Structure 1
Amino acid sequence: MIVVTGASGQLGRLVIENLLQTVPAAQIVAAVRTPAKVADLAARGVQVREADYNRPETLDTALAGADKLLLISSSEVGSRLPQHRAVIDAAKRAKVGLIAYTSLLRADTTPLPLGAEHKATEQLIAESGLPAVILRNGWYTENYLASIPPALQYGVVLGSAGEGRIASAARADYAAAAAAVLTRDGQAGKVYELAGDESYTLTGLAAEIARQSGKTVAYQNLPEADFKAALLGAGLPEGLAALLAESDIGASKGGLFDDSHQLSQLIGRPTAGLATLVKAALQ
């Protein structure tokens, strides 16, 4: 039985869709905070169990009988470590045969402050003694595609990444990789550095948006504080604005670049390129 936590989220749902291609629905558990959000999966035969990272008492039942567990990192930056610890402890009690964790690209050396909680979670998993595989996911291309509407409106892509190259990939590609790991033997002990086959700068992103839209769009590099202020002005919450600004600074230092092609090797096909994803976002 394969348990996927955070299964109502964007990545979790895509992982389950991939698993359903080769795994019987009854052997898949969607572990979610609010079961009603995945009623559609239950209707397709997927087991749905309540699993709240903040309520450890829900986790033993959620993981009962699990052969493999995909721990999708919490979205609550700053609170992740105790949440992840609760799941790892429950996995130990359930004697899970393999735990897979969605970490961050080069979590052990990344210049992104976001990496600290991921590195600490990897350490907790190592200390648990459970067989484990670490999926160090790079940036989602969708994080930057979200800037397309304002870029078209104002003619500018804002950021703090300088000329740092970004080897992002679509969320669907990371989901395919997670499903591949969960359905293959011999994964324990592996650490995958996962990123897109292509890389680009934010100048290149702006140029691609301009090329496909036929509008004038340029990249404007800002100091971290100014970029954060712009994000706050656009209505983003404080935590997310700080995270994105910090991450761009990390990107300027090479934190979002990787050319090992481990992601495409794992999924058995090229990752979706920037031009393809921009085209889809513009439609």
Structure 2
Amino acid sequence: MIIITGANGQLGRAIVENLLTLVPTEQISVSVQNPEKARDLEQRGVRVRRGDFDDAESLAHAFEGASQVLIVSAPRLGEQALRQHRTAIDMAKAAGAQRILYTSQMAANPASPFAPAPDHAATEEALRESGVAFISLRNGYYASSAVPLLGNAIETGEAVAPEDGPVAWTAHDDLARAAAITLTKGELNGITPPLTGTEALDLAGVAEIVSEVTGRPIRRIIVSDDEFRARLIANGSPEAVANMYLGYFAASRQGAFAHVDPTLARLIGRPPMTLRDVVKVTLQMDK
């Protein structure tokens, strides 16, 4: 039985949909906090069980019969994230899983200024310590985040942000396909190469694409980190959110998201979606 956690989220659900094209339905089970939101999967023959990273007993039930468990990283930071991931790893091991997969990030690094990166690095260490065969899928930076990083630039014509660096923007759908293929064909082991799109673009490049797609000119304006933080907080962003953004810009300046690797294209058997492709879809959905 292949167990997927977080199957009500964007990435987890896409992984399940891809798995359904690769293996019989009865081999797939999902672990979700709210089973009611996954009833459509249950109606299609997928086993649906409640699983909460803060409730080890629920995971023991959700992971029952597991041959592989794919842990979609929790939307948490710091010690809470690591505690939840360790619980999921421990319960997957206890359930007898022969292999654990984890959705990490290409910037995973204990010293990174990007807040999720040390959490991913610590989780990878917990996977090593588990003694269970594992694959840490080092996903590229989500392309769906590119347009939001521009703020209200489409309306104002100005993309105001600190200095940044290139990012190998990568589509959720491509990463989901790669995860499903890895679960069924087992081509990767341990910590993977970065699973990325084929081009790395900075925010000025993102603005240029959005401008071309919308027909609205956008000018990139660089401000200091302090000025950007002040702008965010003045517009109502919590300090933690402002710090998350600043950590992203600092990490991108260090080149944390810049590496382009062919592994994703090889896994899915086609060129990954470009940022332009994702921008078109994102803006169409926003209409």
Structure 1 residue 67: Cα displacement = 0.6
Instruction: Report if the CA contact (8 A) 2:150-2:160 is conserved.
Output: no
Moved more, 218-227 or 228-237: 228-237
Tell me which residue corresponds to 1:128. 130
Instruction: Report if the CA contact (8 A) 2:144-2:279 is conserved.
Output: no
The runs of 5 or more residues in structure 1 that have no matched partner are none
Task: Name the amino acid aligned to 2:227.
Answer: D
Residue correspondence of structure 1 range 180-195 to structure 2 within 5 A:
180-185=181-186, 187-189=188-190, 191-195=192-196
Residue correspondence of structure 1 range 33-72 to structure 2 within 5 A:
33-72=33-72
Moved more, 212-221 or 66-75: 212-221
- TM (norm. structure 1) is 0.93
Once residues 24 and 236 of structure 1 are traced to their aligned partners in structure 2, the CA distance between those partners, rounded to angstroms, is 45
Q: CA RMSD in A?
A: 1.9
Tell me which residue corresponds to 1:142. 144
Tell me which residue corresponds to 2:11. 11
Once residues 77 and 220 of structure 1 are traced to their aligned partners in structure 2, the CA distance between those partners, rounded to angstroms, is 30
Once residues 156 and 165 of structure 1 are traced to their aligned partners in structure 2, the CA distance between those partners, rounded to angstroms, is 19
Structure 1 residue 237: Cα displacement = 4.3
CA gap of 1:165–1:148, structure 2 versus 1, over 3 A, is closer
Structure 2 residue matching 1:146: 3-state secondary structure:
helix
Answering whether residue 279 of structure 2 is matched by residue 275 of structure 1, we say no
Per-residue CA shift, 1:216-245, capped at 9, x if unaligned?
A: 211222323333343444554443332122
Residue correspondence of structure 1 range 100-179 to structure 2 within 5 A:
100-108=101-109, 111=112, 112-147=114-149, 150-162=152-164, 164-179=165-180
CA gap of 1:181–1:231, structure 2 versus 1, over 3 A, is farther
Residue correspondence of structure 1 range 239-254 to structure 2 within 5 A:
239-254=240-255
Once residues 166 and 58 of structure 1 are traced to their aligned partners in structure 2, the CA distance between those partners, rounded to angstroms, is 38
Task: Name the amino acid aligned to 2:184.
Answer: T
Aligned length: 282
Moved more, 38-47 or 102-111: 102-111
Structure 2 residue matching 1:194: 3-state secondary structure:
coil
Structure 2 residue matching 1:101: 3-state secondary structure:
strand
Structure 1 residue 158: Cα displacement = 3.0
Structure 1 residue 264: Cα displacement = 1.2
Instruction: Report if the CA contact (8 A) 2:197-2:261 is conserved.
Output: no
The runs of 5 or more residues in structure 2 that have no matched partner are none
Task: Name the amino acid aligned to 2:83.
Answer: P
Instruction: Report if the CA contact (8 A) 1:134-1:192 is conserved.
Output: no
CA gap of 1:54–1:259, structure 2 versus 1, over 3 A, is same
